[in-house]
């Protein structure tokens, strides 16, 4: 007679399946509203909020931009983006969770009037690892790297660079001070994700921001709807 056998429940897999279902619902809602949504992912301090602030300034007269801020605690980033001209912003405090999940975004979306937005920027919790696994319902995944973090990030965190739809290299004003090998960085990115657009910017000086903002606006226009091509009141 054989005894009981080992039973294994794969919690992570079932959590991710539920997350994907919620992300699908978010995506349908955002698509119906015509709100192009970007999941902004990067390590802590790479410049996610700074890029959002620069984007808000660059698109001030061209698109209505909302922001959802994900942080373990606090609301300083939401205060920054509201001061920079976000049409609306919601702070999610994850209470210790190291990434945003689709049900958190679902909850935050109920606080926004999507009919008043053209673009929605989601600032994920600072982390180059697990945000890759947790879909939020975004149209595009953005991976941002600050030059001061080192040129080896694609080699060390390959999944983040492989799944991203666009890469932003920030803090290029520091590039000569921190031994950042630009060619090595770009080659490493291309090896993981050939053809992915890479924007080189400085949120400090504003270099490269106009090109980045124009690309974002073109993505919004490709989604359809008139708002992105008309002047915003
Ligand atoms: N020199 C330089 N500093 C920058 C640049 N972009 C951002 N910083 C600085 O980097 C620090 C972190 O910027 P944030 O935009 O708050 O970074 P973050 O990724 O939102 O950080 P968390 O939300 O804490 O994960 C701030 O002191 C910024 O002023 C840049 O292009 N050049
Ligand atoms: Mg931030
Ligand atoms: Zn996490």
* CATH at 204: 3.40.50.300
Q: Which residues line ligand 1 (CB under 6 A)?
A: 42, 44-50, 77, 126, 170-171, 173-174, 202-204
Q: Atom 13 of ligand 1 has which residue's CA nearest to it? A: 47
Query: For position 225, what pLDDT does the model report?
Result: 58
Residue 142 lies in a domain: yes
Query: For position 231, what pLDDT does the model report?
Result: 52
Residue 14 lies in a domain: no
Angstrom distance (rounded) from CA 148 to CA 145: 8
Query: For position 1, what pLDDT does the model report?
Result: 65
How do residues 96-137 score in pLDDT, each as one tens digit?
999 999 999 999 999 999 999 999 999 999 999 999 999 999
Task: Report the residue among 50, 89, 145, 160 best suited for mutation to probe ligand 1: largest number of ligand atoms under 8 A from its CB.
Answer: 50
Residue 52 lies in a domain: yes
Residue 4 lies in a domain: no
Backbone φ and ψ of 37, nearest 5°: -120, 130
Residue ranges of the chain whose pLDDT lies below 50: 226-230
Backbone φ and ψ of 92, nearest 5°: -105, 125
3-state secondary structure of 125: coil
The domain tally of the chain equals 1
User: 210: CA distance to ligand 3 center in Å?
Assistant: 32
Atom of ligand 1 at shortest distance to CA of 52?
A: 15
Residue 55 lies in a domain: yes
pTM of the shown model: 0.94
Residue 189 lies in a domain: yes
**Residue-range definition of the domain harbouring residue 94:** 33-224
Token pair for 167: 């890469």
Q: Vertex 167, ends 163 and 172: CA angle to 5°?
A: 150
Q: Which of 190, 138, 144 is nearest to 167 (CA)?
A: 144
Angstrom distance (rounded) from CA 88 to CA 140: 20
Residue 13 lies in a domain: no
Contact 132, 42 (CB under 8 A): no
Residue 75 lies in a domain: yes
């Amino acid at each position: 007679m054989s005894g009981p056998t080992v039973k294994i429940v794969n919690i992570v897999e079932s959590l991710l399946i539920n997350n994907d279902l919620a992300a699908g619902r978010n995506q349908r809602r955002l698509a119906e509203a015509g709100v192009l949504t970007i999941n902004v992912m990067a390590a802590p301090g790479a410049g996610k909020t700074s890029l959002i602030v620069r984007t808000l300034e660059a698109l001030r007269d061209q698109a209505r931009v909302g922001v959802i801020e994900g942080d373990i605690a606090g609301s300083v980033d939401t205060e920054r983006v509201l001061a920079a001209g976000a049409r609306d912003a919601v702070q999610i405090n994850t209470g210790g969770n190291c990434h945003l999940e689709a049900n958190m975004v679902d909850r935050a979306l109920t606080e926004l009037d999507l009919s008043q937005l053209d673009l929605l920027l989601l600032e994920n919790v600072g982390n180059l690892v697990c945000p890759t696994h947790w879909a939020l319902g975004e149209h595009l995944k953005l991976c941002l790297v600050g030059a001061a973090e080192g040129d080896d990030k694609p080699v060390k965190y390959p999944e983040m660079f492989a799944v991203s739809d666009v890469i932003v290299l920030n803090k290029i004003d520091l590039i000569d001070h921190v031994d950042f090998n630009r060619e090595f960085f770009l080659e490493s990115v291309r090896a993981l994700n050939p053809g992915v657009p890479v924007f080189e910017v400085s949120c400090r000086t504003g270099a490269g921001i106009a090109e980045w903002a124009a690309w974002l606006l073109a993505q919004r226009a490709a989604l359809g709807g008139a708002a992105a091509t008309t002047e915003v009141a």
